[in-house]
Amino acid sequence: MRARLVACVGMVLLTGGCGSRQVQVLPAGPPAAKVARCVMSFPDVRAGRLARARLVGDIARYLSRRPGRIVYAVHDLVSGITLGYGRQRDELALAGGAQVDIVMALLARRGRGFDEDERRLAERMIRESNQKAADAMWSRIGGSGAMSAFYRRIGLRHTTPGPGAAWGDTTSSPSDRVRLLKVLVKGGGGLSAADRELVLGLMGRVQEDQAWGVSAAARRDDRVTLRNGWTPRPLVHGTWAVGSYGRIAGPGRDLLLSVQSDLQPEEGAGIETVEGVARMIGTRWDGLSPTTRRPCPTNPLP
């Protein structure tokens, strides 16, 4: 009996009870919270410079195996990065690519938007590359003299309108195509927000068979607005001029891109080369702005 009493006393001391009564045991306190490590990200300037140099070099090697002459320019409105080769070569024909210029120049001159007939002509020009509509609009703007004035107004220094009625012989450079796109996106040149929205909207809805070119730089969910130009050059050894310029915008990037070529053996070869350059740029662009991580300062300033 004495032994049982001693055992019960021991049990009371250990559990707070004896017999069949169950005593609630409080759980241990919560585990100590883990302290997150403070890390800061900084641009890796040296790695970015090397990545850009590698891309330019790889494009140059690709172009060395392609026929004809190819020049390009790209500017990212998000990162501010600009790359290119032959950016100011201004003797490459725009062909149908000049139709956007005509529409912009007429909108700037009107200062009030288009009437129904002009809007219909603009749509046929940019979405369908309709030459008769372009002839009519070229005449309404006043031909090459009016176009020269418009180019000076928006700061295009390497673009020359075609002579007489030959708007398709307008020549331009990749850097000027990027400047033209920047006017459409950012404003300027007497174009209202509604004018710019009209032009970009048409460039975003070109016919499916004309949506080739710089669109090859787009990722799955990017928005693409573009205009292409292509024309045979029977007096230049029977070759072709093929070009494409436009905007490719999406998460983390807003690219203004122009790729132009001439002395192409055929239209298909020019398109393939233009898309090859655009695809290399689009695929590798995100790697051109690398970052490095460092611990936060242990003694921050008060």
Q: Could you read off the pLDDT of 114-165 as tens digits, one per residue?
A: 999 999 999 999 999 999 999 999 999 999 999 999 999 999 999 999 999 9
The pTM of the full predicted model, rounded to 2 decimals, is 0.84
Query: What pLDDT is attached to residue 301?
Result: 57
Angle between helices 98-110 and 193-203 (to 10 degrees): 160
How many CB atoms within 10 Å of residue 54?
A: 13
Q: Which two tokens stand for residue 279?
A: 């695809």
65-120 pLDDT tens trace: 999 999 999 999 999 999 999 999 999 999 999 999 999 999 999 888 899 999 99
- DSSP bridge pairs for 292: 42
Residues 6+ apart with CB under 8 A from 198: 107, 113, 114, 119, 122
Phi first, then psi: give them for residue 205, nearest 5 degrees.
-130, 35
pLDDT at residue 26 is higher than 60: no
Distances (CA, A) of 298 to 178, 189, 294: 45, 51, 12
Query: What pLDDT is attached to residue 3?
Result: 47
What average pLDDT does range 35-41 have in this prediction?
Answer: 74
Query: What pLDDT is attached to residue 43?
Result: 83
pLDDT band at 12 (very low <50, low <70, confident <90, very high): very low
All domains of the chain, ordered by start, with CATH?
68-287 (3.40.710.10)
The residue among 58, 31, 100 whose CA lies nearest residue 245 is 100
pLDDT band at 9 (very low <50, low <70, confident <90, very high): very low
239-254 pLDDT tens trace: 999 999 999 999 999 9
Query: What pLDDT is attached to residue 146?
Result: 96
Q: Are 276 and 66 in contact (CB under 8 A)?
A: yes
Q: Are 242 and 58 in contact (CB under 8 A)?
A: no
pLDDT band at 1 (very low <50, low <70, confident <90, very high): very low
| Ordered alpha helix ranges (H), the chain | 2-15, 45-64, 98-110, 116-128, 131-141, 143-153, 174-186, 193-203, 267-284
Please calculate the CA angle 43-257-60 and round it to the nearest 5 degrees: 80
**Tokens 């915008």 found at:** 249
pLDDT band at 38 (very low <50, low <70, confident <90, very high): confident
